[in-house]
Structure 1
Amino acid sequence: MAEWIRVGWLDDLKEEPQVVKGEQVGIAVFYHEGKVRAVDNRCPHMGFPLHMGSLCDGILTCHWHHARFDLESGGTLDPWADDVPTYRTEIREGVVWVQTLPQNRKRLQHHRDRLREGLEQNLSLVIAKAVVALMEGGESPENIAAIGVEFGTTHRRGGWRSGLTILSAMVNLLPKLDRRGQVLALYQGLRWIAQESAGMGTRFQLEPLPVKDADPVRLMRWYRHCVEVRDVQGAERVLLTAIRAGFSDEQLSDMTMAAVTDHFYMDVGHSLDFHNKAFEVLAKIGADQRERVLVSLLPQFAGAERSEELHSWQSPVDLVTPLQQAFTKVENLTFGNDRGGAGEKELVQTILGDDPQATVAELVSALQEGIDPRRLAQLVTLAAATRIRHFHVQNDFRDWDTALHTFTHAHAVHESLRRSVSPELIRGIFHAAMSVYLDRFLNIPAAREPKGDFAEGKVAPHPKELLAIMDKQQQVAEAAQWVKVYLDRGGDKKELFRTLGEALLREDADFHTYQAVEAAMMEHDRWTEEEGEWAESAQETMILAMTRYLAAHAPTSREVPHIARIAWRLHRGEKLFEEETEPEVT
């Protein structure tokens, strides 16, 4: 509740500014140009005491980074600094009083606006402070993400890319993280969007076709043809027509995914992964942004790489022809819902083998025998994760991404099939399996398996130990060994996932590292829906794959999370020029 507090004698204030304690922060009181003014004593940029600043012509200047403020209104001349709260003052019989409630109190809408401004100006600290304030103010993470999605799909002419994918992945990970981790996850995704959109120009949306009765079959045919000939604008008008006609998410997914899988492993799997993430984030933020989100996926088609045109898919082994033959065998099947059961281990080993024709034959046979396509996609994804689990560090470092592309593509196929099963999307299972085959040399030799430790009576190590291991470069084997021991001794997986999330979010991670962690955690959770040694082994593969990938890409300079830490401290009212204390997590 607001109250009036005594500042001191007016004559003393004329000599120098005074600082008094308000409800939560110090209030700096000035006498300038014949008037008494009061503002929050913390510079909203980075918290430096404003009473140590200088006044000239109504402008208060902070001496740390030279942020300037209108003393009367609190408004800043420097958008990166934010406005400073102001307070009412009165003079009673020569004594100055100040009211503790700010006149321009910042509400949630202010922080939403500041988030948009931070995105527009690509100001990381502004973005971080807005996310902290919104989360602490009770705004839902989905609403915060929606602001980023709207901005990214509007202000990047080139359409959906890494930033929007990272934000969508981080929204998926929020339940795995503590409060501080959730703030970091949203901030990381949003600052990627801002960085990627800077200077890229606004994307103006076209209008749908002026049709009265939209025929779903015909629109799908038109859409696929437009993508086939790289006619992005034609595809956009057709897609908007389908959306305005009220097509369901399942129909839109079938239509857009078919155009992706009309070609093999398009853009090393990114095209299908981006589409999957777009549908996932729409499920979280609501359908209001459906048009802008889905049409943002189209620009990538203009120059997308189609693997059936690549030498590696045609020579020395022709992968294209066997797949085309296989697709004709499965396109008219009635797909079953069997879980697979016996023979799954052997099928995964076949996928990991060096005979692609045998792999294709086994996949076709499994579908013909009634396996659920979603289960088949899950098994191919497990094979892809196994490549990362066994990736030898003597490979070219960039080949971590080669294995990662296959895994995230397979994961996207799996998740997309959970949304809607179609013959066209099932082709993605085969594309992923062939990519697993092409990656086989990354496991020759295979990395040694961590030994683990089932020693009776020994407790699991503390998760913070894993972070210490990842403070050093190339601790891949060491990190995997630590995790294996932790799991063997019954360590709490929730704590482990929070720690792995922290290991990701404390770094200046690259795009693929976000993908690796999110896909592995999501696939792990799918395997927890069943019991038995096979499911436990699959869960372990996902955890070891993500751990090894994280360890291979750490540490970094950690500049990005440092900015978020500054935002946390400012929100808590700390002084940045004093020793840092660890923020409380609620």
Structure 2
Amino acid sequence: MRTEDWISAGTLEQLKSDGAKVIKGGIAVFAHEDGAAAVDNRCPHLGFPLHLGSLCDGILTCHWHHARFDVCSGGTLDPWADDALAHDVKIENGEVWVNADSRQTMSIEKLNQRLREGLEQNIGIVIAKAVVGLIEAGVSEDEIARIGILYGTSQSDGWGSGLTILAAMRNVLPKLDKQGRILALYHGLVHVARAGAGRAPRRLLGPLPSAGTSAERLADWYRSCVEVRDSQGAEKVLLTAIASGSSPDRLAEMMLVAVTDHFYLDGGHTFDFHNKAFETLEAIGPDAAQFILAALTPLMRNPSRSEEQHHWQSPVDLVAPLKRAFERLPRDNSPSQAAVLDSPFDEGAFVERLLGDKPLATIQLLSDALQGGIAPARLARLIALAAAERIARFHTQNDFGDWLAVLHTFTYAHAVHERLLRSQEPLLYRALFYGAIAIYHDRFLNVPRAPKPKQDEYKAGIAEAPTDDLLSLLDRRQQVEEAAGWVAAYLDSGRDHAPLLNTLGHCLLREDAEFHSFQMYEAAVAEYDHWRALEGTEALAGRAANTMLIACTRYLAAHAPTAREMPHTARIAWRLHRGERLFESE
């Protein structure tokens, strides 16, 4: 080794007298038995100076959280702490020399292992440090998300809120800066870890023996299993369809037709979770199909079926009219030539009808639109807009918990829109009707309607205002209307929307946000993109895109601020990775 690779730590005699010292490069050197040992002075847990700890029988203990390390190897006895970086030591002529370079390096393989361990043991700081390290090492975000998805889908409860958050955050990564992307992945992975904590691993049942069963028959079997809430039979049929080579699109139609056989299952969550699973499958590849899709079958054990609920039957019976409308659905993918709308399709009027209080007329209008050849995905986009309008005009005098009612309808409508952009299966059109009726059921939450955003007080300086001003607004509670006014003024100013989308992401990610806030941001951003792509061709496009962001802003403002513990942990992990001194050592 070169002489310049070694740093003098003084005499061994003096080190024994002092017990420990810190030398150049932030290395802690300890008198140990008849010689010396050296480790990086920053505790790998949270950065506390290790030379202030105690060494006994070869175990170095950090006095902050009592993490313990083998002083010779740096290995930790506590899985939440990570290994300390150990340095080689030699003694020549009574003088202690320490190698400037540590023995270990944190390889990508080791970081992947630590991420899996953090997930399995539900340790947020370990997950945060692994995410930071992998991002800084240039590992793709999809590879990081894949580890979380495969872990989450291996747990006994199957697909739930944790996996949905991770899937949603993977979708919004292009809208975020580097810090935002780290936070998004960290939040998603931590929620996956929490959902899996204490759960036994989930073992797949396996497919049926190969007998050349047709895809059509497998689809019928799957629907029959779901009908009687036989989730195990549904899993075996699903795995058989995967083993027989069914494409992800064919599998999506098979599963979602079964989901829509009954009305608005579990308040829309069942359809929404299925959509997120298939979006994830698109992102990380079909080789993960059996793990991701089998995780959905537990959702079919006992979902609530809205046709059995009182408010879908009384005071207005909506069940029978919907079933009659379903009988009129197109039987193939081509529009009916016999039924033509009396006048050109008016998108604005359609949205107003959805927001009205005449559900039977809404059912008829939607049925006529499908019969007349209006694209189902177009109708789904308008239903999502109407659902977003409910949030944009949600009055804060409502019970706070009612934010969830309008949120559920919107995220369901968004999921239906995404699926119908990918599928032309007529039976999935039933999902449009469920969304329209859910919007009708939310009508009293807009009585009275919240006023339009008061943007005048922000217009004067909005052209130069930093987007961090929005973050400052959300440092205080009850800033729903103020934040909406600020965003409306920004949108009308002609400024680039990309910084606003990033800032809205940070409005979410700097909080200890709950499940529905993640859903809100992801769905709003996706629907915003769909409408922005139509500007210049659709009259509603500009207003609709703005509505998505105003609705998102109001929802996030209503749920902020929080304690912000999770993002604080992520910031500590990033600072540790960058070598910052979180605690002074002198």
Coarse TM-score class (shorter-chain normalised): over 0.9
The equivalent residue for 1:394 is 397
- Alignment equivalent of 1:501, drawn from 505, 518, 529: 505
* 1:546 equivalent in alignment to 2:548: no
Mapped contact 2:387–2:410 kept (Cα < 8 A): yes
Question: How far apart in 2 are the matches of 1:285 and 1:4?
Answer: 46
The equivalent residue for 1:423 is 426
Deviation at 1:462, TM superposition (A): 2.1
- Alignment equivalent of 1:557, drawn from 553, 563, 566: 563
The equivalent residue for 2:50 is 50
SS of structure 2 residue aligned to 1:345: helix
TM-score, structure 1 normalization: 0.95
The equivalent residue for 2:209 is 210
String of CA shifts for 1:236-261, please: whole Å, max 9, x gaps. 00000000111001100100111110
SS of structure 1 residue aligned to 2:101: coil
SS of structure 1 residue aligned to 2:249: helix
* 1:219 equivalent in alignment to 2:218: yes
Deviation at 1:460, TM superposition (A): 4.9
Task: Map residues 108-507 of structure 1 onto 2, 5 A cutoff.
Answer: 108-155=108-155, 157-335=156-334, 342-453=345-456, 459-507=463-511
Q: Cα distance 1:455–1:4, how it changes in 2: closer, same or farther (>3 A)?
A: closer
Deviation at 1:207, TM superposition (A): 1.1
Unaligned runs of 5+ in 1: 580-586
**Larger CA deviation: 211-220 vs 268-277:** 211-220
Mapped contact 2:53–2:61 kept (Cα < 8 A): yes
Q: Cα distance 1:336–1:14, how it changes in 2: closer, same or farther (>3 A)?
A: farther
- Alignment equivalent of 2:542, drawn from 536, 539, 542: 536
Mapped contact 2:330–2:371 kept (Cα < 8 A): no
Letter in 2 for 1:474: Q
Question: How far apart in 2 are the matches of 1:431 and 1:457?
Answer: 44
* 1:67 equivalent in alignment to 2:73: no
Deviation at 1:572, TM superposition (A): 1.7
Deviation at 1:282, TM superposition (A): 1.4
String of CA shifts for 1:453-482, please: whole Å, max 9, x gaps. 496996253211111111111111111111
Letter in 2 for 1:518: E
SS of structure 2 residue aligned to 1:303: coil
Question: How far apart in 2 are the matches of 1:137 and 1:459?
Answer: 37
String of CA shifts for 1:480-503, please: whole Å, max 9, x gaps. 111111111123211111110000
Mapped contact 1:80–1:123 kept (Cα < 8 A): yes
Question: How far apart in 2 are the matches of 1:539 and 1:335?
Answer: 29
Mapped contact 1:335–1:373 kept (Cα < 8 A): no
Unaligned runs of 5+ in 2: none
Question: How far apart in 2 are the matches of 1:450 and 1:55?
Answer: 62
Question: How far apart in 2 are the matches of 1:167 and 1:334?
Answer: 34
The equivalent residue for 2:15 is 13
Letter in 2 for 1:291: Q
Mapped contact 1:335–1:367 kept (Cα < 8 A): no
**Larger CA deviation: 550-559 vs 196-205:** 196-205
Question: How far apart in 2 are the matches of 1:35 and 1:224?
Answer: 72
SS of structure 2 residue aligned to 1:99: strand
TM-score, structure 2 normalization: 0.95
The equivalent residue for 1:584 is none
String of CA shifts for 1:528-580, please: whole Å, max 9, x gaps. 1112441000001101100010111111111111111111121122222359x
Mapped contact 1:460–1:491 kept (Cα < 8 A): no
Question: How far apart in 2 are the matches of 1:546 and 1:327?
Answer: 33
Q: Cα distance 1:335–1:432, how it changes in 2: closer, same or farther (>3 A)?
A: farther
Deviation at 1:30, TM superposition (A): 1.9
The equivalent residue for 2:38 is 38
String of CA shifts for 1:299-341, please: whole Å, max 9, x gaps. 1211210101100101111111111111111141434599x97
Deviation at 1:342, TM superposition (A): 4.7
SS of structure 1 residue aligned to 2:75: coil
Question: How far apart in 1 are the matches of 2:407 and 2:198?
Answer: 29
String of CA shifts for 1:353-385, please: whole Å, max 9, x gaps. 111111111111111221111111101111111
Deviation at 1:215, TM superposition (A): 0.6
Mapped contact 1:452–1:488 kept (Cα < 8 A): no
Letter in 2 for 1:297: L
Question: How far apart in 1 are the matches of 2:478 and 2:28?
Answer: 50
How many positions carry a matched residue from both structures? 574
Question: How far apart in 1 are the matches of 2:403 and 2:32?
Answer: 62
String of CA shifts for 1:277-311, please: whole Å, max 9, x gaps. 00111111222221011011111211210101100
**Larger CA deviation: 130-139 vs 459-468:** 459-468
Q: Cα distance 1:465–1:458, how it changes in 2: closer, same or farther (>3 A)?
A: closer
Deviation at 1:14, TM superposition (A): 2.3
**Larger CA deviation: 452-461 vs 88-97:** 452-461
The equivalent residue for 2:5 is 3
SS of structure 1 residue aligned to 2:301: helix
Structure 1 vs Structure 2 CA RMSD: 1.9
